[in-house]
Amino acid sequence: MNLILFGPPGAGKGTQAQYIVKNYNYFQISTGDLLRNETKNKSKLGNKIEKLISNGEFVSDKIVNELIEKSVTDLKFKKPIIFDGYPRNIQQVNNLDRILNEFNQKILFVFFLNVSREIIEKRIMGRITCSKCNLTFNDFFNKNEIEKHPCGKEFLTKRTDDDISIAISRYDIYMKKTKPVLDFYSSKKGFHEIDGSLKIAQITSKIDHILKV
Ligand code: AP5
Ligand code: MG
């Protein structure tokens, strides 16, 4: 039942992952979250990652693959896993394949949230994340929920890479580097392209429809 949420920055991978975790009892592994966690250590490695993320550049395969391997080994597929933001290049595809084989696991679904650059700019510029519960909101679309968020306003933060020029560069890098990954999965069984410009609830309903079959 493992699945991959695939799509450009701001496509809504994290948002849909939160929904699937809550309603289908999955674990979410987001490489972005794992990397941001590493930066909190302020170690040499943490500072190196921070610099790359803040410039919108990819972190090296070696670092990302090690983080994925550790998380997967810790989780041992006790629940199905959502891979959010991984794999992003063919080297990472091969690494994931190796890990899955080791645990006798498969990817059953790949959801590609397809969104244009114009749409993601607004999403990224408005994004607010709760550092306590990791829920994501948007200043343009969820003012009410932000006001009422139970963790409290002091935990609501903006990501350091959510700056317009970095967001555009992240989008361009993503499209260039991950095209081979899209080509690889799009011919496989279980691949579903979803119009990511739809409303959040419309996308979840499409995902529901596929997961409930
Ligand atoms: P990561 O954290 O994965 O960032 P990303 O891929 O750029 O994706 P985002 O998290 O920005 O977007 P999302 O699709 O999760 O959208 P969200 O649901 O939050 O990676 C960060 C960095 O880490 C990378 O740039 C790279 O440096 C490094 N990295 C990570 N993985 C790596 C890897 N595998 N290899 C190498 N380096 C790696 O939604 C965005 C906003 O829109 C929110 O405000 C949300 O409320 C809103 N929203 C969501 N859906 C909708 C909708 N349908 N309608 C309206 N608003 C919506
Ligand atoms: Mg995300």
Q: Residues lining ligand 2 (ion), CB within 5 A?
A: 14
Tokens read off for 23: 């309603």
Strand partners, 2: 107
Say what the alpha-carbon torsion angle 207, 172, 175, 111 is, to the nearest 10 degrees: -10
Q: Give the largest CA-CA distance in the chain.
A: 47
Q: Ligand 1, atom 30: nearest CA belongs to which residue?
A: 32
Ligand lying nearest the CA atom of residue 38: 1
pLDDT along the chain (213 residues), means of 10: 95 97 96 94 92 95 96 94 97 97 96 94 94 92 92 94 92 90 95 97 97 87
pTM for this entry: 0.96
Q: Ligand 1, atom 41: nearest CA belongs to which residue?
A: 123
pLDDT value of residue 183: 94
pLDDT value of residue 142: 87
pLDDT value of residue 201: 97
pLDDT value of residue 213: 76
Ligand 1 closest atom vs CA 199 = 53
Tokens read off for 212: 């409930």
Q: Are strands 2-6 and 127-130 parallel, antiparallel or unpaired?
A: unpaired
Cα of 152 to ligand 1 centre, how many Å?
Answer: 23
Contact between 112 and 192 under an 8 Å Cβ cutoff? The reply is yes
| Phi, psi dihedral angles at 25 (to 5 degrees) | 60, 50
Cα of 8 to ligand 2 centre, how many Å?
Answer: 9
